[in-house]
Structure 1
Amino acid sequence: MRRRILGRLAVATCAASLPVSLLAMAPASAESRTSHTTTPEYKRVGYFTQWGVYGRDFQVQDLDRSGAAERLTHINYAFGNVSPDGKCFTGNVPGEADAWADYVRPLDAENSVDGVADSDTQALAGNFNQLKELKAKHPGLKVMISLGGWSWSTHFSDAVRTPASRKAFVSSCIDLYIKGNLPVDGARGGAGAGAGVFDGIDLDWEWPGSEGDTDTVYRPEDKKNFTALVREFRTQLDAYAKSQRGTSQHGKAKKHYELSAFVPTAPAKIDAGFEVRKIMRDLDFVNLQGYDFHVSGEATTNQQSALYARDDFSVDQTVGDWLRRGAPARKLVVGMPFYGQGWTGVTGGGDGLHQPAAAPAPATWQSGYEDYKALKKLADAGTFEVHRDRRNGHAWLFDGTTLWTYDDPQVLSTKSRYVRENRLGGAMFWSLDGDTADGELIRAVDRGLGGR
């Protein structure tokens, strides 16, 4: 059961753009490291998938074991859903909500961050409780609830059509996730049961004003309504933070709830759905789509996440398009994939790239999509040859029949250097469960951004 954040791109070409280095003139983001240093740092945002605790058996505790938690500034929890009546909700509805994974499922001592088994009587268990324990162990680490994703953006457009509907929608999300008023499920949930888990909201509407998943509604007015939605979230989050300041000792607390968004690479989608200068005033940062430039459903093999690409989608093109539309460099966080896109039945010879293919490649969870940790095993086994385009910053595996385009530590180091050189906001990863058990990818990004 995989609900994808990975938005499909229209088949299009993009005009060559000015080098980002000429556009990014704002100072770098200044975020404190979560635990092992106080040096100003870049954001490191990793998506934790709700459903990864099942087949992949990727638990919150694995972020601690791998060393990822101490290298992250933010965890985006994927995903929260929007109901047909325009409200944030949870429950146990197959394909729509999974309260069991979120806050009901008990964890034993072996799989718990603090080494203590969940009891039958505690109000908060599951992933939410483990995230809270992870934050206690790594002060400064923030957790955001990501709303929508590829499959759960269905009702966004309906939810934000009027000022009244936007106000009600935002209020419901803050009530559920920020205030932590979770539905009662046996001993779990209740008023305030989830308080302190989430530090902000991440909007993953795919896509306002343009086509997304097959059942996702979109309208031309989504563009202005998205701006109004961002403003409403900022207003209500700030008001709630202000209301909490008098409740702490001496009344000195100054909590800031962060607000971010996942945004597309295609210029047509940017222009259809985003008033860039306006939304950037209220957003703390945006996570740029830095992957799925080409996908395994296409008939020809191609790169999915190149740093540079002439007359094609690329990281540099995406950054440049957002800068030119008025986004501050310090608020642009570059998305980096912890997975690959793959094709099989590749013909035409050579290194396999830009060649006809018969179908998406067989894979562990979904044809055409494979975690980095599995692709690393293919590379290490020697049956696939690693190819690199060093000039354009991407890599792929090819065995003569099957091709996988992916990012390995070498590619991610180059991208991290690009983030530094262009004084951008940091790096984002989809998704943390694709990394190796020892956090090979996140360690490479951490070093590239100036960590240890």
Structure 2
Amino acid sequence: MRATEKSALSARRRRVAAAIAASALTLAALPGAAHASSGNGGGHGHDGSGKQLVGYFTQWGIYSGFFEKNLISSGEISHLTELDYAFSNIAPDGTCASGDAWADYQRPFAANESVDGTADTWGQPLAGNFQQLKELKAKYPHLKIVMSIGGWSWSGQFSGLAATAAGRQKFVASCIDQYINGNIPGQPAGAAAGIFDGFAVDWEFPGEPGNNNPYSPQDTPNYTALMREFRNQLDTVSKSTRHRYLLLANTSANPAYADKLQLPQLARVVDWFNVMTFDYHGSWEPAGPTDFASALRQDPRDPNPPASRYTVSQAVRYFEQHGIDSEQISLSMPYYAHTWTGVTPGPNGDGLFQPATAGGGTPNYAAVVAAPGTTYFDTRAGEPYKYDAASGTFYTYDDPRSLTLKGRYICDNDLAGTMVWSLDGDTTDGQLTAALGNSLDCDD
């Protein structure tokens, strides 16, 4: 999915949102495209703007000290409508499976690590991140929590399991049993029930190898069939629980990859698309030219060929031109940078659009702010960048100013909202999430 995941393990209508949220049974009967704003979470979504702010919480973040309680201390929780948990793995037999049981539901949290300030005790039915998510939901009952499945590292089983109706049925049933019914292996029955409000399917990518994964031309119809299976089984559960479950599709913003999707058919069953409008340029282009990883608009000086001049606004146009309503399009925002090294200043002295000798890393936003160099802002692209002439290092990233512009763009173009990867990349006082959340108060 995002470059930070690769290094760590190597997100319909606003005008009907209030009406469709009123009845779980009605929601279960409506086509998927009418559900985009059902059940907003912690912040601006309550005020009538109806915009989603979906933040990713990484399973492995706790190993570096980023706990669920950090969302409260940073203030980020007040802006979130939904929290997506990364990720569920997929077992070789084509069923949902934890990729790290210790982090997910076994690790005991100390009192100073927990949401409610109480230490986990031996023998309790649930621990780990799942227990903390449960506590978070108890404290913020309007927050939706969604299990994200796959991602860059764990998409290798999708093509095979989706190839047959039996495989799709088995897979979806296993995901619902674990994450909706809460039947976690080795734990009491239903121990994790009531935590998750649906799924974000992050297959990277149908019809493409992604992380050297198996793939097939049949992935295109099989992906649609898989998402229909999710919607059908979730709606069946809704009839007994009287709770409507979200279904989101995390999709590439690259037109060549998006061409492998049956977008109009998918729109009938998903609530919205988290279009991954980041990682446009970065270290996989070691010779450069340095360029923006998530530009809102096109800077006409961009030296890349037309087919490689990616922008957020271009992605929105693509999805709309392929039959997707604007209010089913959610834009993805990076809380990290891409860097290059060996970059010369160039004619403007700022390193932009210049050749490089090597690709660099993917530091979080907080680290970029602290790094040496001069910060610039390209008003044409709507993006900041940083260049350190002394070391020849160039950074492309988002900051509060660019996220505010993107939030306004979401409002002006009547989009569903945004997904951010990932919340642990923000500053300790949540500067990025605050800027984005405030900009999504579209009625202000």
Q: Is 2:29 the partner of 1:34?
A: no
Query: Structure 1 residue aligned with 2:387, among 357, 373, 398?
Result: 398
Tell me how far 1:34 sits from its aligned partner: 3.0
Q: Within 5 Å, give how 1:80-119 maps onto structure 2.
A: 80-90=88-98, 97-119=99-121
CA contact 1:288–1:334 (8 Å) conserved in 2: yes
Tell me how far 1:3 sits from its aligned partner: 8.5
The one-letter code of the counterpart of 2:190 is G
The one-letter code of the counterpart of 1:39 is D
SS in 1 for 2:57: strand
Query: Structure 2 residue aligned with 1:48, among 37, 57, 70?
Result: 57
CA contact 1:48–1:432 (8 Å) conserved in 2: yes
TM-score, length basis structure 1? 0.86
Tell me how far 1:32 sits from its aligned partner: 5.9
CA contact 1:4–1:151 (8 Å) conserved in 2: no
Counterpart residue number, 1:219: 216
Counterpart residue number, 2:234: 237
Q: In the TM superposition, what whole-angstrom CA distance separates every residue of 1:192-222 from its partner, at most 9, and x where no partner exists? A: 11111111010000000112012x1110000
CA contact 1:262–1:287 (8 Å) conserved in 2: yes
The one-letter code of the counterpart of 1:284 is D
Q: Within 5 Å, give how 1:49-448 maps onto structure 2.
A: 49-55=58-64, 57-90=65-98, 97-184=99-186, 189-214=187-212, 216-244=213-241, 254-272=242-260, 274-298=261-285, 299-300=287-288, 301-309=290-298, 311=306, 312-347=309-344, 349=346, 350-361=349-360, 368-378=361-371, 383-400=372-389, 401-448=392-439
CA contact 1:4–1:150 (8 Å) conserved in 2: no
- Structure 1 residues 289 and 407, CA, compared in 2 at 3 Å: closer, same or farther? same
- Structure 1 residues 30 and 228, CA, compared in 2 at 3 Å: closer, same or farther? closer
CA distance in 2, matches of 1:25, 1:450: 16
Q: In the TM superposition, what whole-angstrom CA distance separates every residue of 1:281-303 from its partner, at most 9, and x where no partner exists? A: 10011111111001112120111
Q: In the TM superposition, what whole-angstrom CA distance separates every residue of 1:359-405 from its partner, at most 9, and x where no partner exists? A: 233xxxxxx10100111112xxxx31111111221111001100010
CA distance in 2, matches of 1:5, 1:318: 22
Counterpart residue number, 1:16: none
Counterpart residue number, 1:248: none
CA distance in 2, matches of 1:269, 1:333: 17
The one-letter code of the counterpart of 1:293 is Y
Tell me how far 1:139 sits from its aligned partner: 1.7
- Structure 1 residues 70 and 33, CA, compared in 2 at 3 Å: closer, same or farther? farther
- Structure 1 residues 148 and 233, CA, compared in 2 at 3 Å: closer, same or farther? same
The one-letter code of the counterpart of 2:374 is E
Q: Within 5 Å, give how 1:10-21 maps onto structure 2.
A: none
Counterpart residue number, 1:13: none
Structure 1: which 5+ residue stretches go unaligned?
Answer: 8-23, 91-96, 245-253, 362-367
Number of equivalent positions: 403
The one-letter code of the counterpart of 2:367 is A
The one-letter code of the counterpart of 1:52 is G
CA contact 2:40–2:82 (8 Å) conserved in 1: no
SS in 1 for 2:196: coil
CA contact 2:337–2:364 (8 Å) conserved in 1: yes
The one-letter code of the counterpart of 2:245 is Y
- Structure 1 residues 408 and 217, CA, compared in 2 at 3 Å: closer, same or farther? same
Tell me how far 1:331 sits from its aligned partner: 1.2
SS in 2 for 1:370: coil
Q: In the TM superposition, what whole-angstrom CA distance separates every residue of 1:207-246 from its partner, at most 9, and x where no partner exists? A: 00112012x11100000000000000000011012122xx
CA contact 1:342–1:405 (8 Å) conserved in 2: yes
Counterpart residue number, 1:251: none
- Structure 1 residues 77 and 344, CA, compared in 2 at 3 Å: closer, same or farther? same
CA contact 1:260–1:287 (8 Å) conserved in 2: yes
Q: Which deviates the most, 24-33 or 62-71?
A: 24-33
SS in 2 for 1:190: coil
CA contact 1:146–1:202 (8 Å) conserved in 2: yes
CA contact 1:31–1:42 (8 Å) conserved in 2: no
CA distance in 2, matches of 1:291, 1:370: 15
SS in 1 for 2:385: strand
CA distance in 2, matches of 1:435, 1:229: 34
CA contact 2:14–2:37 (8 Å) conserved in 1: no
The one-letter code of the counterpart of 2:118 is V
Q: Which deviates the most, 227-236 or 389-398?
A: 389-398
Q: Kindly report the root-mean-square deviation, in angstroms, between the aligned alpha carbons of the 2 structures.
A: 2.0
Structure 2: which 5+ residue stretches go unaligned?
Answer: 18-35, 301-305
CA distance in 2, matches of 1:5, 1:373: 17
Residue identity (%): 45
CA distance in 2, matches of 1:323, 1:4: 29
CA distance in 2, matches of 1:165, 1:34: 33
TM-score, length basis structure 2? 0.87
CA contact 1:339–1:370 (8 Å) conserved in 2: yes
Question: Which stretches of structure 1, 4 residues or longer, exceed 6 Å deviation after superposition?
Answer: none
CA contact 2:84–2:148 (8 Å) conserved in 1: yes
- Structure 1 residues 81 and 3, CA, compared in 2 at 3 Å: closer, same or farther? farther
- Structure 1 residues 25 and 84, CA, compared in 2 at 3 Å: closer, same or farther? closer
The one-letter code of the counterpart of 2:83 is I
- Structure 1 residues 32 and 154, CA, compared in 2 at 3 Å: closer, same or farther? closer
